[in-house]
């Protein structure tokens, strides 16, 4: 079912979210407080004997209050906070399917799965009906 979900993410000093992508949703990030770094995948094409796509990460440093970045479907992305105060970002998720299981993790410093398929990237042993919080991310409580 198409939808929208709004979150406030708090990235604590010295922490980051996982490098991840989503198959079904786009995210719009707006800086609210503090200062951080956003890394978002970009695709450039190069023509040699065949057309091929080279994935690169664009780094937005600093990511300040009022700055806005869009993360398209299937683009790898990460937020980090190299500073000394919490970095707060408003995240608006939109897409045909808004689901916390729609996360493919590529790198994660907190021991969560780094599988390439979303079904195996579930945050076990956590219960999907419970809010999750990690040192690098804070999620609002579910109602």
Q: How far apart are CA 137 and CA 63, in angstroms?
A: 16
Tokens representing residue 57 in the block? 């990460």
The number of residues making up the chain comes to 143
The pLDDT assigned to 139 comes to 42
Question: How many degrees, rounded to 5, is the angle at CA 69 between CA 121 and CA 135?
Answer: 45
Residue 120 is given by DSSP the state G
Higher pLDDT, 15 or 120: 15
pLDDT for 39 beyond 70: yes
pLDDT tens sequence across 77-116: 999 999 999 999 999 999 998 988 899 999 988 887 654 4
The pLDDT assigned to 46 comes to 54
pTM of the shown model:
0.73
Nearest residue to 61 (alpha-carbon basis) of 31, 18, 20: 31
Of 14-28, 38-52, 123-137, minimum mean pLDDT range: 123-137
Tokens representing residue 95 in the block? 């897409």
Higher pLDDT, 56 or 52: 56
């Amino acid at each position: 079912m198409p939808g929208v979900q709004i979150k406030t993410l708090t990235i604590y000093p010295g922490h980051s979210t996982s490098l991840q992508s989503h198959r079904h949703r786009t995210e719009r990030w707006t800086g609210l407080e503090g200062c951080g770094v956003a890394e978002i995948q970009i695709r450039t094409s190069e023509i040699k004997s065949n057309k091929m796509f080279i994935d690169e990460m664009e780094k937005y440093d600093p990511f300040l209050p009022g700055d806005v970045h869009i993360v398209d479907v299937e683009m790898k992305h990460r937020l980090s906070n190299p500073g000394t105060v919490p970095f707060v970002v408003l995240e608006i998720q939109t897409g045909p399917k808004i689901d916390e299981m729609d996360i493919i993790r590529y790198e994660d410093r907190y021991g969560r799965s780094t599988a390439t398929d979303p079904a195996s990237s579930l945050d076990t042993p956590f219960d999907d009906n419970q809010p999750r919080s990690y040192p690098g991310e804070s999620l609002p409580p579910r109602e």
